[in-house]
Amino acid sequence: MNKNVLVTGGTRGMGEAIVKEFAQNGYNIIINYVKSNKKAISLKSEIEREYKVKVLLIQADLSYEDEINKMVKTALQEFGRIDVLVNNAGIVIDKEFGNRTVEDWKQTLNVNLIAPFILTKLIGKEMVKQKGGAIINISSTNGIDTYYPSSVDYDASKSGLISLTYDSAVELAPYVRVNCVAPGWVNTEMNKELAEEFVKEETERILVKRFGEPEEIAKVVYFLASDNASFINSSVIKVDGGWY
Instruction: Name beta bridge partners: 183.
Output: 239
Among 2, 146, 191, 226, binds ligand NAD (CB under 6 A): 191
Using CB under 6 A, pick the residue from 11, 108, 165, 168 that binds ligand NAD: 11
The verdict on 61 binding ligand NAD (CB under 6 A) reads yes
Query: Pick from 18, 86, 11: which is nearest to 45 by CA?
Result: 11
Interface with ligand NAD (CB under 6 A), residue from 108, 179, 188, 233: 188
CB of residue 228 to ligand NAD, shortest distance in Å: 22
Told to check if 190 binds ligand NAD by CB under 6 A, we report yes
Of 27, 154, 166, 222, the catalytic one is: 154
Residue-wise DSSP of 43-97 = HHHHHHHHH---EEEEE--TT-HHHHHHHHHHHHHHHS--SEEEE---------G
User: Is 147 marked active-site?
Assistant: no
Q: Is the dihedral angle over the CA atoms 79, 183, 105, 166 positive or is it negative? A: positive
- Closer of 89 and 109 to ligand NAD (Cβ): 89
Residue number, 123 or 186, with CB nearest to ligand NAD: 186
Per CB under 6 A, the list member of 27, 51, 79, 185 interacting with ligand NAD is 185
Which helix (H) or strand (E) segment is 135 a member of? strand 133-138
Q: Does 89 bind ligand NAD (CB under 6 A)?
A: yes
Q: Is 62 in the site for ligand NAD (CB under 6 A)?
A: yes
Per 3-state DSSP, what percentage of the chain is helix, strand, and coil (rounded to 5)? 50, 15, 30
Among 15, 116, 124, 241, binds ligand NAD (CB under 6 A): 15
Helix, strand counts (H, E) of the chain? 8, 7
**Which member of 3, 12, 44, 100 binds ligand NAD (CB under 6 A)?**
12
Beta bridge partners of 56: 30
Cβ burial, residue 225 (10 Å; 0-12/13-18/19+): buried
As measured in angstroms, the least distance from the Cβ of 139 to ligand NAD is 7
CA–CA distance, 76 with 161 (Å, rounded to integer): 24
> Which residues in this chain contact ligand NAD in the complex, by CB under 6 A?
8-9, 11-15, 32, 34, 61-63, 88-91, 111, 138, 140, 183, 185-186, 188-191
List, by residue number, the catalytic residues: 154
